[in-house]
Amino acid sequence: MTLAREVLGLAINLENGESILPPRVDLLPAGRRITGRDGRAWNNPDPQKVADWNNQRGLDVVLDFEHASELKAPKGEPAPAAGWLADFRVEADGRLTAAVNRWSPAGEKAVKESEYRYISPAVIYDRKTMNIIGIGSAGLTNKPNLALAALNQEQEEDPMLKELLKKLGLPEDAGIDAALNAITTLQTDLQTALNSAQTPSLDKFVPRADYDTALNRATTAEAKVAQIEKDNLEAEIETAVNQALKDGKIAPASKEFFIATCRAEGGLKSFQKFIESAPVVVADSGLGGKAVETGGQVALNADQTAIMQMFGNSAEDLAKYGK
C-alpha cells in the first residue's frame, strides 16, 4: 500500500451555540465519495476505520495555521499549533469529527477575532484506491475546499427556527438539518398524495365517465325490466279476465271493471281466488258479448254487485273504469 498526504479545505460545522470556540470540529463530511471545489476527490468507504486509525495511535493531531506543519515544518520553518485534536469519532449522520483538547492562545485569538473561519484536514490516503486512511493534521484556513459552516459562526437561538420545529412536531433542540429533513419528508408525502389523487387505485375508485355510463345503463335496464313486468302483468290480467268471461263467471259488461280491479296491488290474485269458487252467472245470450245499457249506464246484476262490494268498489268506479 502506497500512502500519500493531501490537504483538503473543509469548513467546520459548529455544534456548540454557547461559544465561538467549538469543543468538537468536523474533519470529513458524510459520504463514501468526498469531492472538493477544485474537482479532486477521495473515497471514504469506512469512516469508522479512519477514526480508529487516529485513536489507536494515541497521539493528539496538531491543528495549525495554513498547514504549516505540512508545508513549512519539513523546511525547518516555524509551524506553531492553534490547537490539538483527539477523540475522533463518526457522528450519526456519517461526519468524522474530533474533539479540540486545547486551543493555543494564538489559535483562540485567531478564531475569536475572525482571523480564520475554516478548517482544512490533511488526509493520509492510499494512492492506488484513493481510500482515506487517516487524518495527518488539520489547519486553520480561509480558503476551504469543501463548503460547510464557518468556524466562528455563532449559533444563536432563532425564534423562527424554534417555531418551525414546533410546527413540524420536532424537539426545540432538533436543529435546522432535522427541520429540512422533515420538510423534505412532507414534500414527498404531499407529492405521493397528489399522484394518488391524479391516478387513484382502480380497486377503490372508477373514472366519473365510467361511473356515469354504468349508472345510465343500470337505470335503463331497470326501466326496461319494470316495463316488461308491467306488460307481463297486463297480459296475465287480460288472460284471466277473458277466461272468466269465457267461463261465464263474469258479465261482458264488467270486463273493464275487473281489469281495473286486478291492476291494484294484489288485485290479480284476489280475482283469481274469487273466480275459482264463483258460479256461472252468465249464460250464452247471443248478444255477441255486447253489454246491455240502461239509461246510458251499465246495469249490474246481483253477482256483479256482490263482486263490486267485495272489492270495495262503487258504481262510480264501474262507470269510470268499466268502459
Phi first, then psi, for residue 37 (nearest 5°) are -65, -30
Q: Which tens digit of pLDDT belongs to each residue from 114-147?
A: 898 888 888 898 888 999 999 999 999 887 765 5
Q: Which residues lie below 8 Å from residue 190, measured CB to CB, with a gap of 6+?
A: none
Nearest alpha carbon to residue 25 among 81, 79, 103? 103
% residues pLDDT > 90 (the chain): 19
pLDDT tens, 214-257?
778 888 888 888 888 888 888 988 898 899 888 888 888 888 88
pLDDT of residue 17: 39
- CA–CA gap between residue 316 and residue 196 (Å, rounded): 67
pLDDT of 60-83, one tens digit each?
999 999 988 888 888 899 899 999
pLDDT at 308: 67
27-42 confidence digits (pLDDT tens): 998 889 988 777 788 8
Other Cβ atoms closer than 10 A to 246: 9
CA-CA-CA-CA torsion for 86, 90, 94, 100, nearest 10 degrees? -20
Distances (CA, A) of 115 to 77, 81, 109, 121, 167: 21, 15, 8, 18, 38
Report the DSSP beta bridge partners of residue 141.
Answer: 118
Distance CA 85, CA 103 (A): 9
Contact 305/277 with Cβ under 8 angstroms?
A: no
- Residues 6 or more apart from 264 whose CB is under 8 A from it? none
Helices 208-246/255-263 angle, 10° precision: 140
Give CA–CA dist 318/279, Å, rounded. Answer: 21
Burial degree of 286 (CB within 10 A; 0-12, 13-18, 19+): exposed
For the chain, helix, strand, coil in percent to 5 are 40, 20, 40
Residue 255, C-alpha cell as written in the block: 270486463
C-alpha cell at 137: 493534521
CB 146 within 8 A of CB 28: no
Say if CB 257 and CB 288 are below 8 A apart: no
Q: What are the E-state strand segments in the chain?
A: 3-7, 24-28, 33-35, 41-43, 61-65, 81-90, 96-103, 118-126, 132-141, 293-294, 297-298
Q: Is the distance from CB of 118 to CB of 151 less than 8 angstroms?
A: yes
Domain borders along the chain are 3-157, 235-321
Tens-digit pLDDT profile for residues 196-226: 666 666 666 667 777 788 778 888 888 888 8
Whole-model pTM over 0.95: no
Contacts of 184 (CB under 8 A, 6+ apart): none
Alpha helix ranges (H) inside 247-314: 255-263, 267-277, 302-310
